[in-house]
Chains A and B, each alone.
Chain A
Amino acid sequence: MYKIIRNRLEQGYRTSSYPKKPIHLPAIYRGLPVIQEQSDLALAQRCAALCPQDAIRAEEKKIDLGRCTFCGRCAEVNDGAFVKFSQNFELGAAKREDLITSGTLPELARHSKTHFKQIFGRSLQLRQVSAGGCNACEADINVLGTPFFDLARFGIDFVASPRHADGIMVTGPISNNMRTALLETYAAVPEPKVVIASGCCAISGGPFHGSSEIVADLSILLPVDLYIPGCPPHPLTTLHALLSFFKKL
């Protein structure tokens, strides 16, 4: 008992005050990209050529955040002459097209379907389905349960049974071998239900794009309501997306 109390005192109170107060990530963290639209085409093409994800649309001067892994290589070309990454981790989007961006995203809170906020605003239960990724997405969703993020204080929980869930949060590029299990899990969730694609794998196949063993894009199978980019999305990105999309803040 004595040890429990001593450890409790040493650990103290650790929960983040986000979103009440802003939080800053280190400068090396790569969030929302800022594209230099005046930069010349040749430079953009060079960046596009080296991008492992083929996420850069050189002619349009845009990056597809649904494909990007935020590896940062494009920002190294001529010291960020084409693109630099900001520390803005608020990356969630309601529409797939919005993720193809030159550096701005529509404010998520206003693009949520209003009935979602009414139905799920006070309590949201999600079933997570892991479908063929690298498990880092899952790991950084799990982290939302640790004391620092403490997702449950917002009335959002991850549940074991799809029958108890209001929706599913899918990670991974949906391997062919997980396709049926995913669809069955979705079918077991009662209506009305939401579908969240978390991480570039679920949005576009991510690093595995082009493989014959995956579906690659969740929206081929199910109607996606919320996209959360990243590889994996930073826990704050997920927290922000869930709060803005579902909560009446």
Chain B
Amino acid sequence: MDKLLQINNGECIERSHIPRVSPELFYRQLNQFVRNGGFVVQFFAYPENKQMIQLAVLRSSNLYILETAVTREYPSLTRSAGAKFNLFEREMAEQYGLRPAGHPWLKMLRYHANTSDRPDVFNNTYSEDIPGNYPYFQIQGESIHEVAVGPVHAGIIEPGHFRFQCAGEEVLHLEIQLGYQHRGVERMLRTVPHKRLISLCENIAGDTTIGHGLCCCQAIEALTGLIVARGASTVRTIAFELERLANHIGDLGALSGDVAFNPPAAYFGRIRGEFLNLLLQLSGNRFGKGLLRPGGVGYVMAAEQRQTIANKLKELRPEIQHVCDLLFTAHTVLARFEDTGTVSREIAHDLGLVGVCGRASGLEYDVREFFPTERYQDLPGLSNQVSHGDVYSRAMARYEDIVHSLDLIELLLAEEEQGYPAAALNEHEYQLAPSSCVVTLNEGWRGELSHCVLTDEQGQIARYKVKDPSFHNWPGLAMALRNQGISDFPLCNKSFNLSYCGFDL
């Protein structure tokens, strides 16, 4: 009965080995797996010889894969097994016109026409502007009012639309409607020349350049058999941790700014820049763009850069500790952080939250530990101490992550290493293994990133699926706002700091 095939992170498998089961068995297995506490890593559709296939990648402490053929309609797993399937099912409806029958909240995700000849599930013609037919959830009553924010927000941030249903100051419900950043990334990844793959992935979400870039490189490496030298893998790992540091530190600064405590906001703002400049030292770009390439990295890490990074870390570690001490001991800050925007462990689990937001609610999951890539096998894991699910816990989870990242980089820099070579430039199309499948996962600074690539008989990319951790976590922000004062929205929002472009693709 148990048909799930266990796979490894970044392993190339033949597509014919993916168990293809009957729809009944497929939905039953997925339902059971999730009801038994499992999580969904990927759940997407792709066309194959005029039929549609649904493929699921699931995780417990292992990774599993399973697929089935689907016609136009299928029984919604969101209805039968819960919210972990919600966005995946809506995505499939939007991308391929597949209807999850009985889905309780079937609305568009990104607002674009589907790529099949099936009718649009949302009855949109796309002659109107976003969001088309989109029935916002509304609460009726004399004392209820609605607040609409965006797509253009007050600051220099990405566009998205928020609808609050409020009773006085209290938010009863927040609906988050995205799609404004949709650029058609997945479709492009399937059709562009290979030389564009990496730069497209680096720019899915610029603050996760290294994360998405790694997922892409590891997938191509699995499909081509390219081997990454240990030294290059070390550079990748260092860059990945620098990306984490820059973002987490930026977030702590922003959180501080949101409660009007300006000194840490200014100091963290500057310290974040120092980490971006270290990425620039490695790659020539403050976000690490151009560093990664299939087979390794684009630039040698010379002794000089290694020394610069080591010195900077030594200089910054105490500064970070002091500014964090300033932030986390200020009573006015604690009064705002504590018990604000709480997401219980139960809700976090039901939604399948990942990364710092999941860990802050007590979900102990870190790809670096569960399914390690690059140099993480050789490095110690991290266990978060504070997990009440509130803004304070999400801030502390970041602080713990920061200290851990500093430790990891220092451990790697202290190694005796033979050299940190650059990989040769590839000037041709890759020869990808035909009829193959690879799933890659990495722990981005926001949480679990995953790419899945399927090739056809000719070795062309038949489907390239991308998942940013924000895909799991946006609903967490909506839940965090339940019964909160609306004035706490900026703070809650910052404590999640999710990606709009990573979601919108």
A interface vs B, CB < 8 Å?
3-4, 6-8, 10-11, 14, 25-26, 28-30, 46, 49-53, 69-73, 76-77, 85, 128-143, 145-148, 158, 160-161, 172-173, 175-181, 185, 206-208, 210-214, 231-232, 234
From B152, B183, B325, residue with most partner A Cβ within 10 Å: B183
Q: Which residue of chain B is the closest to A214 with respect to CB atoms?
A: B183
| Docked-complex contact B273 and A52, CB < 8 angstroms | no
| Docked-complex contact B156 and A175, CB < 8 angstroms | no
New A-B contacts (12) at CB < 8 Å, excluding given A73-B425, A129-B152, A208-B200: A7-B323, A28-B280, A30-B285, A70-B284, A133-B206, A135-B205, A146-B272, A181-B159, A207-B199, A211-B187, A213-B184, A231-B289
Chain A residues whose CB sits within 8 angstroms of the CB of B425 once the complex forms: 50, 73, 76-77
| Docked-complex contact A212 and B158, CB < 8 angstroms | no
9-residue interface stretch from B27-35, B92-100, B174-182: B174-182
Chain A residues whose CB sits within 8 angstroms of the CB of B283 once the complex forms: 28
| Docked-complex contact B204 and A3, CB < 8 angstroms | no
| Docked-complex contact B199 and A211, CB < 8 angstroms | no
From B152, B202, B272, B282, residue with most partner A Cβ within 10 Å: B152
B495 at the interface (CB under 8 A from A): no
| Docked-complex contact A175 and B180, CB < 8 angstroms | yes
Q: Contacts A50-B427, A160-B155 hold; do A4 and B266 have CB atoms under 8 A apart?
A: no
Cα A145 to Cα B157 with chains together (Å): 14
B59 at the interface (CB under 8 A from A): no
Which one of B159, B199, B282, B285 contacts A131 once the chains associate, using CB atoms below 8 Å?
A: B159
Interface secondary structure of A, over-half rule: mixed
Which one of B129, B209, B326 contacts A136 once the chains associate, using CB atoms below 8 Å?
A: B209
B interface vs A, CB < 8 Å?
110-112, 129-130, 151-152, 154-159, 179-185, 187-188, 192, 195-196, 198-200, 202-207, 209, 263-264, 266-267, 269-270, 272-273, 276, 280-287, 289-290, 298-299, 319, 322-323, 325-326, 329, 425, 427, 499-501, 504
| Docked-complex contact B273 and A143, CB < 8 angstroms | yes
Tally of contacts, chain A with chain B, CB under 8 A:
194
Q: Can you show 14 pairs from A to B with CB atoms below 8 A apart?
A: A30-B285, A50-B425, A72-B298, A73-B425, A85-B284, A129-B152, A134-B209, A136-B289, A138-B156, A138-B157, A207-B199, A208-B203, A210-B192, A214-B183
| Docked-complex contact A30 and B206, CB < 8 angstroms | no
| Docked-complex contact B206 and A181, CB < 8 angstroms | no
Q: Which residue of chain A is the closest to B262 with respect to CB atoms?
A: A4
| Docked-complex contact B326 and A4, CB < 8 angstroms | yes
Chain A residues whose CB sits within 8 angstroms of the CB of B501 once the complex forms: 132-135
